[in-house]
Structure 1
């Protein structure tokens, strides 16, 4: 069952950039923004990461952690983060288990070809570990700012 508003957030415990790990359980008591994106170093995904990075001080001031999740390897995340000087945590879901649990591994269509891939989606998790807000089929422009506004009213 996909992550839905008002429900407890699915577990998230993944390897992250710089050799770290990210665990939603460890963030309990603070808001968290989990955004799923298709692939490192592609136009939309880079822009989304840069937008969240630009607002990183604002999220931090509200006590919120921003975590980007894709199926890229930790090594790719490290290169991506260094190339664009990103200030968000990037978690690696290589086996796709988190994507499945959160309901973002979906059938997609491009130029008439169907394939499975990550739906660009963002989840705002409240201090109790519940899904407070969900954005699906995200359009990158102004998205990070909209998420920040939602964190402010948590």
Structure 2
């Protein structure tokens, strides 16, 4: 398997602007001064991605209390993301990266093992970005189930 770029803690988080589920542009730089949990997921409305996104939704209160904003990124269209947000009451930004530019910048697109086959696709990944726009944590090839609980534990968020 070939590896794509891998970001490391301490590196500046690559800036970007993508449209959210409402068609509004969202720039990472607009979050400077805040902590951000940026996660990449393969496809809206699939079982695993729904589980992961709903786990983030259900943890928004405790993440926000600890100073974190949550942003999801997928290759889905704005229309699909709008349907996903509506269906599952997802109130945080879901960003559309149909041309995979941001996936590539973050190393969240590449070859992966899917049920014994090598395929190219989204590498389920999460990045924690500090107030200065630097990456503090990277999690590549995460599992959808239990990911938010693991993240909360690593970030020492208990409430």
* TM-score with structure 2 setting the length: 0.89
Q: 1:54 and 1:111 mapped to 2: Cα distance?
A: 29
CA gap 1:112/1:58 in 2 versus in 1, 3 angstroms:
closer
Q: CA RMSD in A?
A: 1.6
Query: How do residues 17-56 of structure 1 correspond to structure 2 at under 5 angstroms?
Result: 17-56=21-60
Aligned residues: 153
What SS class does the counterpart of residue 95 from structure 2 fall into? strand
Name 2:143's counterpart in structure 1. 139
Q: Report the more deviating stretch, 8-17 or 138-147.
A: 138-147
2:71 maps to which of 64, 67, 72: 67
The unaligned stretches of length 5 or more in structure 2 are none
CA contact (8 A) 2:48 2:145 kept: no
What SS class does the counterpart of residue 37 from structure 2 fall into? strand
CA gap 1:52/1:111 in 2 versus in 1, 3 angstroms:
closer
* TM-score with structure 1 setting the length: 0.92
The unaligned stretches of length 5 or more in structure 1 are none
Deviation string, structure 1 residues 16-36 (Cα, Å, up to 9, x no partner): 111222211110010000000
